[in-house]
Structure 1
Amino acid sequence: MPTTHASPLVGRAAEVERLAALTGLTDSGTACAVVVAGDAGVGKTRLLTELAARAEPARVPTLVGHCTDIGDGALPFLPFGEMFGRLEAAEPDRFADLAARHPALLRLRPGRRAATSADGPDDSGRADLFDAVHAALEELAAPAGLLVLVEDLHWADPSTRDLVTLLFTRGFAGQVAVVASYRSDDLHRRHPLRARAAEWARLPGVERLQVGPLPDADVRLLVRGLCSGLTAEPDVREIVRRAEGNAFFAEELALARAAGDAALPADLADLLLLRLDRLDDAPRTVVRAVACAGRPVAHELLVHVLDLDDEALEGAVRTAVDSNVLVPVDGTAYAFRHALLAEVVYDDLLPGERQRLHAAYVRSLQAGGTEGTAGELAHHALAAQDVTTAVIAGIQAGDDAAAVGGPHEAATHYLRVLGLLDRPGAPDVDGTDLTVRAADALLASGHPHRSADLIADFLRQRPGGPTGSDRARLLLAQAAALREIDTDVSALDVTAEAITLAAEDPSLRARALTAHAYAAYDRGRDADATRFAEEAHELASARDQPRVASEAAMLLGRLKEGSGDPDASLAALGEVVSQARRDDDVVALIRGLHLTGTILFEVGELTRARTVYLEAAAIASEHGRPWSPNGLDARLLACLTAYMTGDWDAVAAESDVSDQSPPPLVGVLFGALALSRAVARGDDDAARLLDQVREWWPRDAFVCVLSAGAAIDLHGQHGDVARAVAVHDEAVRTVSTLWHAEDGLFQARVRLGALLLGQLADAAARAGSDAEDLVGLGAAEANAAERTVSRATATGRPYAVEGRAWQARAKAEMLHLRWVAGIEPPGEDELIEAWQRAVDGFEDLGQPYECARSEARLARALRAAGRAQDASRLTERAVRTAERLGARPLLVELRDLTARPTPGSSTRGGHELTPREREVLALVAEGRTNGQIAGQLFISTKTASVHVSSILAKLGASGRTEAAAVARRRGLLADPR
Structure 2
Amino acid sequence: MTRTAIGPHMSDRQDTMSSVPALRTTDLIGRDAELEQLTAQLGIRTSGGDRDGEPTARAMLLAGDAGVGKTRVLTALCDAALGAGWQVVVGHCLDLADSSLPYLPFSEVLGRVVADHPDVAARVLEQHPTLARLQPGRRILSSETTSGDQALDRGNVYDAFGDLLSAVAEQAPLLLVVEDAHWADESTRDMLSFLFSRPVPGVSLVVSYRVDDLHRRHPLRRQVAEWMRLRGVDRLQLEPLTDDAVRRLVRALHPTTMSEAEYVSIVDRAEGNPFFVEELVGAAWSGQVPGELADVLLVHLDRLDETTRQVVRIVSVAGRQVSHALLAAVSHLGAAELEAALRTAVDAHVLVASRGGTYAFRHALLGEAVYDDLLPGERMRLHADFVAALAEGRAVGTAAELAQHARRADDRPVAIRASIEAGEEALAVGGPSEAATHFLDALELLDTTRTPVADIDSHALARRCADALVASGRVPKAVKVLRARLATLPADAPRTDRGQLLTALASALMLTDTTESPTETAAEAVELLRDAPPKLLARALLVQARSLSGWHADEARSIALQALELAERHDLTSLAVELHATIAGLDPSAGTSPAAGWRAAADRARRAGLIEPELRALYLLGRLHQDDGDLDAAIEVYGEVLARSEVGGMTWSPYAAEARLLLAVALTHQGRLDEAWELLDVTGQNPPMVFEWLFFAQQMLITIGIRGDTHSRALERLRDYWGTDGLTAIVSGSAELMRATAAGDAAGARKVYDDVVASVVPLWHEWFQARLRLSTLVVGAFAAAAPRQSSDERAAAAAGVDRMMADGARVIDFYAPYDGSHGPEYRMWVARRTAEHLRWRWLAQVEPPRADELVDAWRAAEETAVAYGSVPELAQVRVRLAGVLRATGDAAAVARKVADLAREAAHAIGARPMLAELTAQGSAPSPPSAGDEVVLTPRESEVLALVAEGRTNGEIGKQLFISTKTVSVHVSNVLAKLDAASRTEAVAVARRRGLL
| Same fold by TM-score greater than 0.5 | yes
Tell me what 2:193 maps to: 165
Deviation at 1:489, TM superposition (A): 1.5
Determine if contact 1:296/1:329 at 8 Å carries over to the other structure: no
Equivalent AA in structure 1 for residue 688 of structure 2: P
Displacement after TM superposition at 1:329 (Å): 0.8
| Comparing 233-242 and 808-817, the one that deviates more | 233-242
Choose from 878, 881, 902 the match for 1:855.
Answer: 878
Cα distance in 1 for partners of 2:642, 2:661 equals 9
Per the alignment, residue 302 of structure 1 pairs with 327
Q: Provide the residue aligned with 2:948 in structure 1.
A: none
CA 1:117–1:618: 2 relative to 1, 3 Å: farther
Letter in 1 for 2:621: T
2:22 corresponds to which letter in structure 1?
Answer: T
Deviation per residue, 1:311-340 (Å, 9 max, x gap) = 111111111111111111115111111111
Q: CA deviation at 1:237?
A: 4.6
Tell me, yes or no, if the aligned pair for 1:3 and 1:330 is still in contact at 8 Å.
no
Paired with 2:592 and 2:875, the residues of 1 have a C-alpha distance of 30
1:275 CA displacement: 0.4
For residue 619 of structure 1, report the CA deviation from its aligned partner. Answer: 2.9
Q: 1:513-912 maps to which residues of 2 (within 5 A)? A: 513-522=541-550, 524-559=551-586, 568-681=593-706, 683-739=708-764, 741=765, 744-767=766-789, 768-797=791-820, 799-867=822-890, 868-899=892-923
2:319 alignment partner AA: G
CA distance in 1, matches of 2:762, 2:592: 35
Structure label with greater radius of gyration: 1
1:229 corresponds to 2:247 = no
Q: Which amino acid aligns with 1:511?
A: R
**1:164-202: CA deviation from partner (whole Å, max 9, x where unpaired):** 111111111x31122110111221222211111111111
User: Which secondary structure state, in structure 1, belongs to the residue aligned with residue 148 of structure 2?
Assistant: coil
Q: 2:40 maps to what in 1?
A: 21
Paired with 1:240 and 1:566, the residues of 2 have a C-alpha distance of 81
Q: For 1:738, what is the secondary structure of its paired residue? A: coil
Percent sequence identity over matched residues? 41
- Asked if the contact 1:526–1:559 (Cα under 8 Å) also holds between the matched residues in 2, the reply is yes
Moved more, 727-736 or 23-32: 23-32
Separation in structure 2 between the aligned mates of residue 430 and residue 367 of structure 1, nearest angstrom: 24
Question: Are residue 417 (structure 1) and residue 436 (structure 2) matched?
Answer: no
- In structure 2, give the amino acid aligned to 1:468: R
Return closer, same or farther for 1:571/1:57 CA change in 2, 3 Å cut-off.
same
Letter of the aligned partner of 1:56 in structure 2? L
State the 1:567 CA deviation. Answer: 7.8
Aligned to 1:101: 127
State the one-letter code of the partner of 1:25.
I
Query: For residues 833 and 328 of structure 1, do their structure 2 counterparts lie closer, same or farther at Cα, with a shift above 3 Å needed?
Result: same
Which of the residues 164, 183, 208 maps onto 1:155? 183
Gaps of 5+ in 2: 1-17, 46-51, 926-996
Check conservation: 2:283, 2:290, Cα contact below 8 A: no
Residues 1:129 and 2:148 are matched in the alignment: no
Shift of 1:898: 2.9
Q: Deviations over 1:524-560 (max 9, x none)?
A: 1111222223333333344444443333222332336
CA distance change for structure 1 residues 566 and 822 in 2, over 3 Å: closer, same or farther?
farther
Report how far residue 228 of structure 1 moved: 2.6
Alignment equivalent of 2:204, drawn from 177, 185, 188: 177
Letter in 2 for 1:4: A
Look up the match of 1:36: 62
Name 1:4's counterpart in structure 2.
22
State the distance in 2 between where 1:567 and 1:857 align: 42
Please list the CA deviations of residues 232-253 of structure 1 after superposition, one character each: whole Å capped at 9, or x if unmatched: 4553454334333221112122
> In structure 1, what is the equivalent of residue 170 of structure 2?
142
Q: Give the deviation of 1:778 after TM superposition.
A: 2.4
Query: How big is the shift at 1:584?
Result: 4.1
1:918 maps to none
Residue number in structure 1 paired with 2:389: 364
Q: State the secondary structure of the residue aligned to 1:866.
A: coil
Distance of aligned partners of 1:331 and 1:891 in 2 relative to their CA distance in 1, 3 Å threshold: closer
Structure-2 change in CA distance of 1:357 and 1:118 (3 Å):
closer
Aligned equivalents of 1:486, 1:438: Cα separation in 2: 20
Whether the 8 Å CA contact 1:124–1:584 is kept in 2: the answer is: no
Q: Specify the SS of the correspondent of 1:203.
A: coil
Going from structure 1 to structure 2, the CA distance change for 1:633 and 1:692 (only over 3 Å counts) comes to: same
User: Hey, what's the Cα distance between the residues in 1 that align with 2:364 and 2:586?
Assistant: 58
In structure 2, what is the Cα distance between the partners aligned to 1:837 and 1:123? 54
**Aligned pair in 2 of structure 1 residues 230, 417: CA closer, same or farther (>3 Å)?**
farther
Unaligned runs of 5+ in 1: 902-977
**Cα distance in 2, alignment partners of residues 582 and 136 from structure 1:** 27
Cα deviation, residue 42, structure 1: 1.3
Answer yes or no: is the 8 Å Cα contact 2:145–2:424 preserved in 1: no
The residue number in structure 1 matching 2:90 is: 64
1:485 aligns with 2:512: yes
Report the alpha carbon displacement of residue 791 of structure 1 after superposing the two structures with TM.
Answer: 2.6
Residue 132 of structure 1 deviates from its aligned partner by 2.3
Confirm or deny: 8 A CA contact 1:111 1:373 kept in the other structure.
no
Cα distance, 1:508 vs structure 2:
2.2
CA deviation digits over 1:719-754, x for unaligned, max 9? 221221122122223322221x3xx31211111121
Change (3 A) 1:871 1:457: same
In 2, Cα distance between the equivalents of 1:239 and 1:201? 36
Cα deviation digits, residues 138-175 of structure 1 (max 9, x gap): 22222113222111111111111111111111111x31
CA shift for structure 1 position 646: 1.7
CA-CA distance at 1:4 after TM superposition: 1.7
Query: Offset at 1:813?
Result: 1.4
Q: Aligned to 1:228, what secondary structure does the other structure show?
A: coil
- 1:379 corresponding residue in structure 2: 404
2:248 aligned with 1:248: no
* Distance across 2 between alignment mates of 1:565 and 1:707: 40
Determine the C-alpha separation between the residues in 1 that align with 2:591 and 2:92.
52
Q: Structure 1 residues 116 and 894 mapped into 2: Cα distance closer, same or farther (>3 Å)? A: farther
Deviates more, 1:668-677 or 1:631-640: 668-677
CA RMSD in angstroms comes to 2.5
Q: CA offsets per residue over residues 751-787 of structure 1, 9 Å max, x none? A: 1121111122233333313433433432333233233
Aligned residue for 2:761, secondary structure, equals helix
- Cα deviation for residue 452 of structure 1 reads 0.8
Inter-partner Cα distance in structure 1 for 2:492 and 2:87: 58
Structure 1 863/240 Cα, relative in aligned 2: closer, same or farther at 3 Å? closer
Q: How does 1:90-489 map to 2 (within 5 A)?
A: 95-109=121-135, 112=138, 118-122=146-150, 125-172=153-200, 174-259=201-286, 261=287, 263-421=288-446, 422-425=448-451, 427-428=453-454, 429-464=456-491, 466-489=493-516
Say if 1:253 and 1:271, in contact at 8 Å, map to a contact too. yes
Counterpart contact for 1:66–1:78, Cα < 8 Å: yes
Cα pair distance change 1:420/1:153, threshold 3 Å: same
> How far is 1:90 from its partner?
5.5
**SS in structure 2 of the partner of residue 746 of structure 1:** coil
User: Are 1:498 and 2:525 counterparts?
Assistant: yes
In the alignment, the residues of structure 2 paired with residue 327 and residue 280 of structure 1 have an alpha-carbon distance, to the nearest angstrom, of 18
CA contact (8 A) 2:120 2:168 kept: no
Q: Deviation at 1:110?
A: 5.5
- Structure 2 residue identity aligned to 1:728: Y
1:683, 1:857 → 2: CA distance?
A: 17
Opposite residue 171 of structure 2, the aligned amino acid is P
